[in-house]
Amino acid sequence: MKTQFTHFYRRSSYFACLLFISLLLFNCSKDDDNPTPEVPEFEEEFEDGEDLPELEDEDPEIVEPETGGVDNSAATQAVVDDLGGDDGEVSEETEASLNAVGSLSDSYSEEVNQTAESLDEDSVEEILNTEDLEGALGDLEQSLNDLPEEVAALMPQINYTADFNRAVAAALQKSSLNISDSYPMSQAVNGPCADAARDGYDARIETLTSQRDAQLATINSNYTRRVEEAGPRYETRLEKLNEDRSAYRADLKATAVSLITAANQFAANDRAVMAKQIRTLALIFTVKSQSSLKEWFNAANTVLSEKRAEEEATALSLQEEKTEIAETNFNTSKAAADALLNSRLNRCHNQGSGN
């Protein structure tokens, strides 16, 4: 069947098409008048920020401690030299020194005087190697702390250095700085513009964090190495200290043996009184040498222990100092990035809700 269109319907269809086309043209014109804002590129702006400055963490200078020693008495050495003369004569100074020693022997116990009479190289060695003297020799050791000046001058002397007076290094407490990883401020700005700003900011913070963490890793590695190196240095110094003690002991023993040799020579020449005085000097010199060696060694060992603690404390102090510098540099750069982010988020806001 053939369909027939009346004149009315044809005109109605014609005007409907015109209306539809007009609406399309109007909407296109409206979109052209209000284009979508272009999303700015913020990444390069954040990348232009300065990197963290280089951080120097040089090793501290290692200064070896002065541990002093036990010095032989110059006065006693002069006595030894004088007694070794071929003519058997002694100077007035030597005779006065021996007379002062002889007056002390009168106050000593019979056991002490017998020990002096029988003193030989082996007994000198035994006394010098004894850690704690007991009995009569222990009492004699205590009495030697209060000697007449002329006798005290004949005794070995401990050479104390400035390091003996150092205070024990105070323990340092490690502190740490906490860095916030949140955005610098709460911005009610969303959309592509704000997202671009935050992406640039995040990339910048990631770079700064990586640089900071690398510096902190070096700082912590240096700290660990320095503390570990302090241990072997202490052991090496302690080994040297033991060698020094052996050398001082041998020197003091040689002096005591020289006195015994001189006493035997005077006894052989029928000079029993002077021989007894010399043997007494040899005994009190040996006992004083033992106590002086012990006192010096213990004090010197303390110096070495304190030196180790000082080096470890210095390592910790450097770690804390360099860590604070690294964190401060990071915070400074982060603050600059924070300010730039706030500025760019404000720009996004002014464009209209971040779009």
**Exposure letters 218-238 (e unless 16+ CB within 10 A, then b):** ebeebbeebbeebeeebeebe
Assess contact for 256 and 285: CB atoms under 8 A.
yes
Residue 338 forms part of a structural domain = yes
Separation of alpha carbons 155 and 137, rounded Å: 16
Assess contact for 259 and 80: CB atoms under 8 A.
yes
Assess contact for 294 and 116: CB atoms under 8 A.
no
Residue 93 forms part of a structural domain = yes
Separation of alpha carbons 314 and 347, rounded Å: 50
Is pTM beyond 0.85 here?
A: no
| pLDDT tens, per residue, the chain with 355 residues | 444 445 545 555 555 555 555 555 545 444 444 555 555 555 555 555 678 888 888 999 998 999 999 999 889 999 999 998 766 788 999 999 999 999 998 899 999 999 999 999 999 999 999 999 999 999 999 999 999 999 999 999 999 888 876 533 333 333 334 444 555 554 556 677 877 777 788 888 888 999 999 999 999 999 999 999 999 999 999 999 999 999 999 999 999 999 999 999 999 998 999 999 999 999 999 999 999 999 999 999 999 999 999 999 999 999 999 999 999 999 998 888 888 878 777 777 666 544 4
Separation of alpha carbons 269 and 173, rounded Å: 71
Residue 27 forms part of a structural domain = no
Separation of alpha carbons 312 and 307, rounded Å: 9
Assess contact for 353 and 189: CB atoms under 8 A.
yes
294: domain range? 43-159+187-352
- Domain tally, the chain: 1
CA angle 117, 119, 121 (to 5 degrees): 155
Q: How far is CA 125 from CA 129, 144, 253, in A?
A: 6, 19, 7
Phi-psi region of 352 (alpha: psi -120 to 50; beta: other; left: phi over 0): left
Assess contact for 285 and 255: CB atoms under 8 A.
yes
Separation of alpha carbons 171 and 46, rounded Å: 43
CA angle 33, 36, 38 (to 5 degrees): 125
Residue 273 forms part of a structural domain = yes
* Structural tokens at position 112: 């002490």
Residue 328 forms part of a structural domain = yes
- Supply the pLDDT for residue 14: 55
Residue 319 forms part of a structural domain = yes
Residue 218 forms part of a structural domain = yes
Q: How far is CA 32 from CA 28, 35, 348, 351, in A?
A: 6, 6, 22, 18
Residue 175 forms part of a structural domain = no
